[in-house]
Amino acid sequence: MTFSKTRLSLVALAFSAVAVMGIEVHAETNRVRFPENLDDLVHYTTVRRGNVTEHIMTTREAIDAVKQGQPIPDGTHFVLVDYREGKVHRYFVMQKGEGWGNDYDEGRRTEDWQFQWFWADRSINMDENTARCQSCHSSRSDENHLYTFDALSAFHGTVIE
C-alpha cells in the first residue's frame, strides 16, 4: 500500500509540474531597458496584422550601419509599438549589448540581442515569454536577428509599409 501511495504522489507531482510549466510561462528579468526617448528613434516600417498595427523604429546609427554592411552598434534599441484600436497596447524592445549573449546557453543565444515586452505605461510586461522571442528571432541570424532587415536596408526616409 505504501508503494502505491508513493507512486501515486510522484505521478501527481510530475503532472503538476508539467501543468505549471505549460501554463505559467512569464518573461524574465534581463538587461533590456526601455529607451530614454522614443522621439530619438526613426520609424522605418509599419506592419499591419488584422486589427494590430505595429510601428517599428530604431536609431539612425543602426540604419546607417546596416546600409553600410557594418555591425549594428552595441546599445542599439529596436522598438515595436503595438497599437490596437488606435492606442498603444504594448511595446516589444530588442536591445544589443556587448557580451549579452553570454547570459544564455549557446542554444538560446541570439548573438548579443536580448528581448523584453513592456506595457503601454512602459513597465515590464512579465506575462510574455521572452524565450519564445529568442527562439523565433534566432531563425534570422543571417539578418541580424531582425524580421524587418530588408525594410531597414531599403529605408530612405519614408516609412515602408
**Edge-to-edge order in the sheet of strand 113-119:** 42-49, 52-58, 77-84, 87-96, 113-119
- Decide if 161 contacts 46 (C-beta within 8 A): yes
- The predicted model scores a pTM of 0.78
Average pLDDT over residues 116-141: 78
| Complete domains list, the chain, with CATH | 26-154 (3.50.70.20)
Q: Look at residue 88 and give its three-state secondary structure.
A: strand
pLDDT tens digits along 51-83 = 999 999 999 999 999 999 999 999 999 999 999
pLDDT band at 127 (very low <50, low <70, confident <90, very high): confident
Question: Residue 19: its pLDDT value, please?
Answer: 38
Report how far residue 138's alpha carbon sits from residue 117's, in angstroms, rounded to the nearest whole number: 17
Structural contact between residues 92 and 80, judged by C-beta atoms closer than 8 angstroms? yes
